[in-house]
Chain A
Amino acid sequence: MNEPSLTRAFTLLLRRDLTLAFRHRSELANPLLFFVIVISLFPMGVSPESRVLQMIAPGVIWVAALLATMLSLDMMFRSDYEDGSLEQLLLSPHPVSVLVLAKVLAHWLVTGLPLLVLAPLLGVLLFLPIEAMPALVASLALGTPLLSLIGSIGMALTVGLRRSGVLLSLLVLPLYVPVLIFGANAVDAAAAGLPVTGQMYFLGAMLVLALSLSPLATAASLRISVS
């Protein structure tokens, strides 16, 4: 039996995950709806005043993005674990970490990327100044793949457990802290008219670190969870 090359396996897995996601369109919208609803709660819960909202906007958008990503982590491995295709994935002759990367990329394309599109709109709703919008989109562009990558480790560790929701947040949220700090800080600085290159470099550096290390950890965790 001849097996597909690694690039082919990567694209096949990516296409499969994307197809699966688009077949469940209602599920696809859930994290986004959650993102919008959480953000719209703040004007009602904190204060509708534009000055207050403008001040908390970067943090609120970032925290909502973080929670939305975390909620959507379940779709990364859960159904594959239940129908057994995850085991097949682990049995494949290709390095599991590369295949994991394909799954994480698919996850980011269906959850992180829409967040990027939606974020400026919500920024307007929270009276974020126009100058901060590029920084908001750029920090989310660097930060949301990071969230997917770190989250994949936590998800892989808990995929074998029946009720993993709360445990997953306990594992993943502390690790999200640096992303949140630099992401929200970049938007904050941009809104104040300050340069944001430093924060962007940090997000980029963390993204490179996570890209190189987290697929290995996720692959190891999957082997542990499935065995």
Chain B
Amino acid sequence: MWAFLHRFASPRYFYNLSGRLIPWLGWFTLILMLAGLYLGLVWAPTDYQQGDSYRIIFVHVPSAWMSMFIYVVMAVASAIMLVWKIKLADVVAQSSAVVGASFTFLALVTGSLWGKPMWGAWWVWDARLTSELILLFLYFGYMALRAAIEDRNTAARAGAVLSLVGVVNIPIIHYSVYWWNTLHQGATVTKFAAPSIDVRMLIPLLVMALAFKLYYFTTMLMSARCEVLERERNNTWVQELAEKKA
């Protein structure tokens, strides 16, 4: 078991494995995304209250989910890096930050596009919007800290501490903002009772959520591969690879 895990943590093994995984993941992402878009934009019924403009949730909700999921992934990877000193975990954390920030931004933009016709305002200081905005700042802080520190090892460890501090704060921020002011509609999918969303809307939503998750894994692995190559550029296996390609 441990031998297996250690082999997986070796950059060379990771590079080869991810190289084989990425095409599969990429195609699955594409298929799921097209299916989700078709189901969401054509097959799902029109909302009795919001008309067709509710359909933006098929992008908005999955990206909001992903924005939080990726932060947790980043924090877990950071903890692994700090405890077991696995450098690959840091590559994962670093590559996740950019994707996570993009999803956070996407969730904010789509929410704002939806908010204009529904609430009559581009931006409202509501609980979910505000906590999402702060999440975006946390991502920016993480990336800025990493960029500001020259030494790669120091940057990795400092970033790891910051992401762990941030993940402790996320529930606090989420609930504090929630109690402070709220206009956003309540949870319709993740509550404990049966979801109050129509099944024909739920299916495209879940398909899109899965597509977004796969998209994240694909892009994260792609950028992690580049990062691994750059970090290991003085090792023989990378040089052999370069000679083979050339």
Contact = CB atoms under 8 A, between A and B. Distances in A.
A158 interface: yes
Contacts of A177: 134, 173, 176-177
B154 A178 contact: no
Interface residues of A, number: 28
Contacts, number: 70
B154 A157 contact: no
Nearest to A169: B141
A213 interface: yes
- Which label, helix, strand, loop or mixed, suits the secondary structure of the B interface? helix
A178 B173 contact: yes
Nearest to A173: B137
The contact size tier of chain B is: 20 to 34
Contact of B154 (A160, A164, A171): A160
Given A167-B148, A170-B137, A157 B161 contact: yes
Interface of A: 153, 157-158, 160-161, 164, 167, 170-171, 173-175, 177-178, 181-182, 185, 202, 206, 209, 213-214, 217, 220-221, 224-225, 227
Interface of B: 82, 134, 137-138, 140-141, 144-145, 148-149, 154, 157-158, 161-162, 164-166, 168-169, 172-173, 176-177, 179-180
22 contacts: A157-B158, A160-B154, A164-B148, A167-B141, A167-B148, A170-B141, A170-B144, A171-B144, A174-B134, A174-B166, A174-B169, A174-B173, A175-B165, A178-B173, A181-B180, A202-B176, A206-B172, A209-B168, A217-B165, A221-B161, A224-B154, A225-B158
